[in-house]
Structure 1
Amino acid sequence: MKKTAFRTLLATTVALILVAGTEGQVFSVAASGIRSLASPLQSDMFDTNRVHKLDVTLPFSVLAAGDIASCANGGYLGRTDRNLRYAVGLPRAEATPNEGMIDTTSILEQHPETAVLALGDLVYKRGEAVGFEDCYDPYWGAAWERTWPTPGNHEYHSPLAYAYFDYWQDRAGPDRSGYYALQAGNWLILSLNSEIDASEGSAQAKWAKEVLAAHPDSCTAAYFHKPAYSSVVRSGSNDARALFRLVAEAGVRFVLHGHNHFYERTAPLDAEGKPTEGGTIAFVVGAGGKSTQGNIEPAAFSERLIAGTTGVLKLTFTDEAAIWTYLTAPGSEETDSGLIPC
């Protein structure tokens, strides 16, 4: 075989592998890379310490949930077809939404002025660009301008979570690292990234320590996708545990997570996940559209666990406390509420 023919065959084979392996996303990835090179993501929303000051007065409220949009797409071949059509600008059939996302969208609509914390795994299965446009955006996307997201593992099923950062732009932080902080009155709320390095000495860990040290008098909270401690233990939580250890040692009052498709509230925990007075409470709010059915055995540190229904956590921040209520889908009488002193 001549070299030219061999090279053509090799190039064709590589192209087919890229198309197949990314379910057709390779063209969207290329377009995203070209856009990034042409106009790198910039932001004037954050100060030099990656902190955005919210234009609110206390008390103010937020809604929080993760694991949201999962539209029917015909499996591998259907996803590949939608990705290819998206990449070249061809029309696509309307995506069929999951019922749970419709229920939680109605909760957002009942609170039209309330900020939203999106806790990762925002569109399944791979967090691809066409998924954000066709599945997430027609529903939770109505709250785009009041949403502050954090990425989940499914966002990183697409290369470098390119679609997540393309969709959210600077609302995902001042660059494509996916971590930043929000300041509202005397509250500092850290949005951290459990999908990248959070070990001691990492850029994220150094920043988190610096920003917490720079606000010693603030009430503090945090949110990142994977829970460090939950009644359902899943793999790949080393960076989540590193983040929890960091914020617990700093005295952060509570953290919010998604990932597990139910609601859970733990007892106050120390940096190693042991119940302790005055520790950090962990909330899992991973039923923003997905919902685990059946019984789940609560861990010893779990104080409330609600499965079998979708829901959104409402938090109201005052000068002295954060007040929470778990809002569930229509037909469910399950709830949880309480107060965390600052």
Structure 2
Amino acid sequence: MPAALAARMTIAEQRDWVRGFLRARPVSRRGAMRGAAGALAGLGLVGGLGSALAACGTSSGPAAGPGAGAAPAALPGVTGRRLSFGADPTRQMAIAGELTVKPAGKVFIDYGTDTGYGATLEAEVRELVSQVPQQDGSIRAADQFFVHGLAGGLEPGREYHYRFRLADGWTGPDAAFRTAPAGRAPFSFTAFGDQGVNVPKPQLNGFSDEYYKPGDDRRTATPASSLVSLITKKAPAFHLLAGDICYANPSGDGQPIRNNAPKDAESGFDNFDPTTWTAYFASIESSAATTPWMFATGNHDMEALYDDNKSGGTRHGYGGHLARLDLPATGPHGCPSVYTFRYSNLGVLSLDANDLSTEIRANTGYSGGAQVDWVRRTLAAMRADPNIDFIVAFFHHCAYATSKSHASDGGVRAALTPLFDEFSVDLVVQGHNHQYERTNPIRAGRSVLAAPDGATIRPETEGTTYICVGSGGRPRYSWQDGVTDRYRGNTGPDSGTMVNSFLNTSDGAKTPETVDWSQSRYLDYAMLSVDVVPGAAGADSTMTVKTIADTGQEIDSVTLVRRARGGGPVALGGSGWSRTSSGLSVPA
């Protein structure tokens, strides 16, 4: 697009112009693969996983010449397999992957209680074309094909095997998963946020998210990958990711896309690399192919490229997620990453803090209050259900955290914490700040009691525990001046639980505050490993939250206790798929 023309257009007008340009100048998949060879090599995807990116090329420039050489021929198959719960985790499992080439025919998922399978469903193929404007006026395009199927009618608490199969005869490897139990049974889950990908990838000019600091000698060389390895070994019932998933959008401001912008270029644009999603799904497959990964959205997950904040029934840059992710459609209309599910005696809420943030305002207020209204109704229903003992909420921007970077978000705190107080939410998992920090139990903004490492807390009377675990792999942040780490095994100075920090307020200011709740802090890479043990009616149920560093060392723990009220199974309804206005489908 000529620069002078682009300067007079909105991003929506530019998108329409680009679509017309590409329709008039079609690029063959073979030519696109030639153009993509350099990008694939930079991602470490040439050969093997190299076929995972179906097509990527520069559409507005000349085709590669005869001497340029061709990219390796892509072989048919499925990579980046991953699971997520349907609306009813006892009877449904969403199964997804990414095709390495455009399918020549139908794609199938075989599943059953053993490797004889016995049941087959036809997978839905969702094509995602990413037309990425470049600073020089060209367009770099990626054509990806994601496959999705919803296995329903399953039996609770049972192991199932599955595999992908293509019409041309290709058959994928076997994997297995287990549905949620019908009644109350012990289980474990894991959680972190702000993960990214620990593989080499092309560096866009401008903002980079590869700013690891020297002297960071407590972490492994590849923290995101190391944490996945720990999760794979533990094999939890599910994993929660509190936003900022893969960092395909490294700047995270929710702005229109224009790549390779130098640091002194026009402001107001984000870089974006859709191939990062391919590398990301491959990097988590060792766990996600057998363990449901449940995602919340963070600021780096707002991708205006696909929908100009409009398609797929959304208005906030989540159109690409509708092609890649399966999220239970149990939340309010128009909020695709807001949902709930139940597992044994635990109720879980995924919330979208982008709607509430006063710090990063690209999506602030998009739900018109519908999300907060839904949170109130959902929490009230959970507390009225005698089969639910514990409630966990997870989202991105922090209601309570300290750091030099983002610290606490005033909009999130104002919208959610009064509800968490009212309905006695047990645990809140947050991201955004690249660190680990656990609060004392909080009510009305203050510590109710001191809860050091190993403490036991009764949330019904002692408040909600907030944990920032944005320590999933991206470069670490720093504490406020004079604030130090505070965790099991730390031999350094202890700056205590009362520290200085700030609150992002509605006028964009960072309002200083002194907090009394910062109980445990670790400025490196870690995840939560949570063991839930339901009690019989009238006895205690426990939820033990352990913090595991990427080296495998346990550095903190706390146990939450509630008196169990009931013991019957949890029954949830809902099945099938619903089609959105963009032509994509999502689980319903």
Q: TM-score, normalised by structure 2?
A: 0.45
Q: 1:252 to 1:44 in 2, by over 3 A?
A: farther
Match of 2:427 among 248, 254, 278: 254
Count of aligned pairs: 301
What CA distance in whole angstroms lies between the structure 2 residues aligned with 1:317 and 1:290?
A: 28
Q: Deviations over 1:279-306 (max 9, x none)?
A: 1110111111124266652633111001
Q: 1:274 to 1:7 in 2, by over 3 A?
A: closer
CA contact (8 A) 1:228 1:244 kept: yes
2:460 matches 1:303: no
Q: Which residue of 1 aligns with 2:439?
A: 266
Secondary structure of the residue aligned to 1:74 is coil
Secondary structure of the residue aligned to 1:101 is helix
CA contact (8 A) 1:288 1:310 kept: yes
What CA distance in whole angstroms lies between the structure 2 residues aligned with 1:131 and 1:114?
A: 26
* 1:67 partner amino acid: D
Match of 1:340 among 560, 566, 572: 560
Following TM superposition, by how much is the alpha carbon of 1:315 offset from its aligned partner in structure 2, in angstroms?
0.7
Q: Deviations over 1:107-138 (max 9, x none)?
A: 1121124311111111125175321112x112
Match of 2:234 among 103, 111, 116: 111
Q: Which residue of 1 aligns with 2:545?
A: 324
Q: Which residue of 1 aligns with 2:134?
A: 20
Following TM superposition, by how much is the alpha carbon of 1:103 offset from its aligned partner in structure 2, in angstroms?
1.2
Q: Which residue of 2 aligns with 1:90?
A: none
Following TM superposition, by how much is the alpha carbon of 1:68 offset from its aligned partner in structure 2, in angstroms?
0.7
2:315 matches 1:161: no
Match of 1:55 among 172, 180, 184: 180
- Which has more helix, going by share of residues? 1
What CA distance in whole angstroms lies between the structure 1 residues aligned with 2:241 and 2:441?
A: 23
CA contact (8 A) 1:99 1:289 kept: yes
Following TM superposition, by how much is the alpha carbon of 1:213 offset from its aligned partner in structure 2, in angstroms?
1.5
Q: TM-score, normalised by structure 1?
A: 0.74
What CA distance in whole angstroms lies between the structure 1 residues aligned with 2:6 and 2:416?
A: 48
Structure 1, unpaired ranges of 5+: 1-5, 36-40, 46-53, 80-97
* 1:180 partner amino acid: Y
Match of 1:182 among 337, 341, 359: 341
Query: Which stretch shifts more, 247-256 or 229-238?
Result: 229-238
What CA distance in whole angstroms lies between the structure 1 residues aligned with 2:239 and 2:340?
A: 14
What CA distance in whole angstroms lies between the structure 1 residues aligned with 2:373 and 2:337?
A: 15
CA contact (8 A) 1:165 1:176 kept: no
What CA distance in whole angstroms lies between the structure 2 residues aligned with 1:8 and 1:208?
A: 42
What CA distance in whole angstroms lies between the structure 2 residues aligned with 1:24 and 1:289?
A: 32
Q: Deviations over 1:169-207 (max 9, x none)?
A: 235867752111121223211111111248797111111
Secondary structure of the residue aligned to 2:318 is helix
CA contact (8 A) 2:188 2:236 kept: no
What CA distance in whole angstroms lies between the structure 2 residues aligned with 1:285 and 1:255?
A: 10
2:222 matches 1:99: yes
CA contact (8 A) 1:150 1:172 kept: no
Q: Which residue of 2 aligns with 1:133?
A: 278
Q: Which residue of 2 aligns with 1:76?
A: 204
Comparing both chains, which one has the higher relative contact order based on Cα–Cα distances under 8 Å and sequence gaps of 6 or more?
1
Structure 2, unpaired ranges of 5+: 19-59, 61-130, 153-178, 208-220, 251-272, 306-316, 357-363, 450-461, 484-496, 500-515, 535-540, 563-588
Q: Which residue of 2 aligns with 1:147?
A: 293
Q: Deviations over 1:144-169 (max 9, x none)?
A: 35111111110014441333342212
Q: Which residue of 1 aligns with 2:380?
A: 213
* 2:239 partner amino acid: V
What CA distance in whole angstroms lies between the structure 1 residues aligned with 2:139 and 2:418?
A: 36
RMSD: 4.0
Q: Which residue of 1 aligns with 2:351?
A: 192
Question: How many percent identity over aligned positions?
Answer: 21
Q: Which residue of 2 aligns with 1:86?
A: none
